[in-house]
Structures are given as C-alpha cells and as structure tokens.
C-alpha cells in the first residue's frame, strides 16, 4: 500500500463529510463554502491575532477576518476579558441594562448622523429593520437597491433581479424593490424621477464588498445624497462592513456624507453577534413602543454583546489603530503591485482602508457588469496555491478580504512572498 493510500484523510475532510449529512451544504452560511473555488471548506479550531489554526494543526495568516468583525485580529485580550466578566453576571436579562446605554452613547457621540440607535443581532436584521422603518416613516413601499450590492438575506434585499438574489421571495415583495447600476447617477436620477411618489428609501453599500471591493467614484455618494434630498427619499447607508473599519467614523466620515439611517454589524461587536441601526431622532421615534413601526428581539442588546461592543469601540478610539491598518494595507499592496507589474499579469487591485480585493481582470471594477469580467477560474487556482502556503482568503473571487491591526510587517512580507509565487505559477 502506498503512503498516500495508507495515510488517513485529514480530520477536516472527514468532518466535512459528516456535517453535510446534518447541515445543508455543510455550512451555516453559504459564504463559508468552497463551492466557488472547489474543494472542501476547512474546519477551524481557534484564532489568535492574525492567525487561524485548523483542526489538523495547520496555521494560516488570515485575511477573511471572520468576514469583517476581526478588525483587531482574533480574540483581542481586552474584548475577551470584558465579555467574560459580563458573562459571569448572566448572559441575558430580557430587560434594560446599563451596558446598552453605554454602547448607544458611544455610537451617538461618534457618528454625527445618528441621534438614536436600536440594537439587533446581525447586519441582516439591521437592514431589514431600517427598511421597514423607512417605509413606516414615509408611508411608501418601494426600495431602491444597487446591482451587485449585498445587504443580507432578508426578502426585500434579495428581491433584486441581478447580483444577490434568491428563490422563495414572493413576487409581491420583488415588485417593491427596484435596482440601479452602482456608480451611475444619471440612471438613479431617472429612476427616482419616475417613481418619486412611491420610493421610501435608497439603500447602498458605500463601498461595495461583494462584487470585488468597489469604491464610489469621486463625488458619487455626495451626488446620491443630493438626489435623495431632491426627491424626498430617505438614504440608508449600509455600513455593516465599512462601519468602524474603513475609518473611525466609517465610510460616511471618510467620504463626508450624511445618511438618514445607517446600518452596522461585524466590526462593531468585537466578535460578538451584533447589528445596529440608527439615524435622525424624528425617524427613529417611529419605532415601537414610541411609534407604530414594530421590531423586537429576545437577544437584542444582550449584555455579552454590548460589552464586546464597548470594549472594541474603546480600542478603536485610538487613532494609532487606523494608522497601523493603513500602513499594513499599503505595504501589502505595494508588494503585490510590484509582482503584478513584473509579471504583466491581467490582475488589478482594489482597496479602501483595510478592505481589499485582488481582481483577476485588467478592468477597473466600477459596477456589477464590470465584475462579471473577473476570471473566477484563475482566482480559484490562486486561492488554493496560497492556501497551501498558509494564506487564508475568502473562498470567492468577488468578496472583500479584510486585514487587521494584528497583522505584523512580517505577516505582510510573508503574504506578498506566497502570493507572488502563486501569481508566478499562474502567469509565467
């Protein structure tokens, strides 16, 4: 018997086969699947700092960042300590407590556009609730989304006919969602003019993170805000991914815009499951029990999550964190740019703050149509080459990777070395 046949399969492979019998697709979120790149998802055992460790003992420099939350790396000690202290007092009360007040105060004092905030349990819940609130406040039904933007898995945002969509969404719901191209003010202007008496809100990712990392064109978000004001439509900024990541005040601070409502998740919780939405007082006071727009949640604002959020915001208040994030991200991109130029590879790079993407196309991605030019097969080969070298990326050609302040210069240099070798193997 050969060594390869005698060797037992890795535990990750065996566990993957077991879990597929119990959990559809073997994952509790499709993003975690390796369907788009081939192979089988890896079972992780623990994370610490910039590293993940799988159940077979392999170590990876991680650029998934738990899909965004791990802005300070995995298991930052002050957050873990705060959560453990809180847990000892009980994880859930089903009643108001001071930690809710404390985290709400921090958010309101940090984000200029927010007078009041409501906590939920995920980014999806935050978006779903903000859309209901916008409809209740305006008395209108239509929602405008943008092709290729991702806003979680509620019916209203999966009703788009392009980009992220799903079967099982009622036709009546789908009729209340209309889409426009990203980075195209003229198309949006025409759409708002046509439906201005019907549209409750426009919702947008200020930096699209699921069709590559696609930044707004210069002046685009400001123009979008002006159009919403012109037609009396609410602007909802989905900062679930960008909030507290691309800058301390998020994308709205980075680009200088003022939305009516903002949605948060991911980095806000310090690794705890969290969502939040907030905005102008006159809008937020339409929420029950102050108003008639109903939204509730047993676990919303639970003490453990609130303590994680407080701890992470305390740490992110230090401007040095964002200087480190920018420095490490810039170091990574300089190294990769040199490699791409030397190889003449048909690859482009995109980054906003510590969100980044390696696009396997020479075309600069500005919208969903452009993103369809990305060579998914070449990315899949690249993904597995760097994975074998101990670099863990999102297993999809179009989703944002995330860097953390825990990544050292040595981590970055090793990553550039492994990615350079992978690109050379593909394009030499």
| Catalytic positions, written as ranges | 150, 238, 266
Task: Find, among 282, 281, 276, 279, the residue nearest to 301 by Cα.
Answer: 276
Please report which helix (H) or strand (E) contains residue 17, including its range: helix 11-20
Tokens 């999966």 appear where?
158
Which residues have a Cβ under 8 Å from the Cβ of 109 and sit 6 or more positions away?
none
Task: Find, among 253, 261, 256, 258, the residue nearest to 280 by Cα.
Answer: 261
Q: Which two tokens mark 326? A: 């920018």
Residue 172: CB atoms within 10 A of its CB come to 10
For the chain, the helix, strand and coil percentages under 3-state DSSP, each to the nearest 5: 45, 15, 40
Distances (CA, A) of 132 to 141, 200, 293, 301: 9, 9, 7, 19
Instruction: Give Cα 1 distance to the centre of its chain.
Output: 47
Please state, in angstroms and rounded to a whole number, the distance separating the CA atoms of residues 237 and 276: 12
Please state, in angstroms and rounded to a whole number, the distance separating the CA atoms of residues 271 and 146: 28
Q: Beta strands 275-279 and 261-264: pairing type?
A: antiparallel
Please state, in angstroms and rounded to a whole number, the distance separating the CA atoms of residues 310 and 99: 8
Q: Beta strands 116-120 and 51-54: pairing type?
A: unpaired
Residue 214: CB atoms within 10 A of its CB come to 29
Please state, in angstroms and rounded to a whole number, the distance separating the CA atoms of residues 272 and 38: 30
Task: Find, among 8, 295, 254, 290, the residue nearest to 130 by Cα.
Answer: 295
- Number of continuous H segments (helices) and E segments (strands) in the chain: 16, 14
Which residues have a Cβ under 8 Å from the Cβ of 96 and sit 6 or more positions away?
none
Task: Find, among 17, 10, 29, the residue nearest to 395 by Cα.
Answer: 29
Length of the chain: 428
């Amino acid at each position: 018997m050969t060594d390869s046949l005698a060797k037992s399969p890795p535990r990750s492979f065996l566990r993957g086969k077991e879990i597929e019998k119990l959990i559809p697709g073997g994952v509790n979120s499709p993003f975690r699947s390796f369907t788009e790149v081939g192979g089988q998802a890896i079972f992780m055992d623990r994370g610490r700092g910039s590293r993940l460790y799988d159940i077979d003992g392999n170590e990876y420099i991680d650029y998934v960042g738990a899909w965004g939350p791990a802005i300070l790396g995995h298991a930052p000690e002050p957050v873990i300590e705060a959560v453990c202290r809180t847990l000892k007092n009980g994880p859930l009360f089903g009643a108001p407590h001071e930690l809710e007040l404390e985290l709400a105060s921090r958010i309101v004092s940090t984000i200029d556009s927010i007078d009041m905030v409501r906590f939920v349990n995920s980014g999806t819940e935050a978006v779903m609730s903000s859309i209901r609130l916008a409809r209740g406040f305006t008395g209108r039904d239509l929602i405008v989304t943008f092709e290729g933007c991702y806003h979680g898995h509620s019916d209203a945002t999966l009703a788009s006919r392009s980009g992220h969509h799903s079967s099982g969404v009622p036709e009546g719901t789908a009729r209340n969602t209309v889409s426009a191209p990203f980075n195209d003010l003229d198309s949006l202007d025409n759409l708002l003019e046509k439906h201005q008496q019907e549209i409750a809100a426009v919702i947008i990712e200020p930096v699209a993170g699921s069709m590559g990392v696609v930044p707004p064109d210069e002046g685009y978000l400001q123009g979008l805000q002006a159009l919403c004001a012109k037609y009396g439509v609410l602007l909802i900024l989905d900062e679930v991914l960008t909030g507290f990541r691309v800058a301390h005040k998020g994308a709205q601070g980075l680009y200088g815009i003022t939305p009516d409502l903002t949605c948060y998740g991911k980095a806000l919780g310090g690794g705890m499951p969290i969502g939040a939405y907030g905005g102008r007082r006159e809008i937020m006071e339409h929420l029950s029990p102050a108003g008639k727009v109903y939204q509730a949640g047993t676990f919303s604002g639970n003490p453990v999550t609130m303590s994680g959020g407080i701890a992470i915001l305390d740490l992110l208040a230090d401007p040095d964190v964002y200087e480190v994030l920018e420095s490490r991200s810039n170091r990574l991109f300089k190294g990769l740019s040199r490699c791409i130029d030397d190889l003449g590879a048909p690859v482009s790079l995109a980054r906003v703050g510590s969100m980044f993407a390696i696009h396997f196309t020479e075309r600069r991605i500005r919208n969903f149509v452009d993103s369809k030019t990305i060579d998914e097969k070449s990315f899949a080969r690249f993904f597995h080459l760097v994975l074998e070298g101990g670099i863990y990326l999102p297993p999809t050609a179009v989703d944002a990777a995330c860097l953390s302040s825990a990544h050292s210069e040595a981590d970055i240099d090793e990553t550039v070395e492994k990615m350079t070798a992978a690109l050379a193997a593909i394009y030499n």
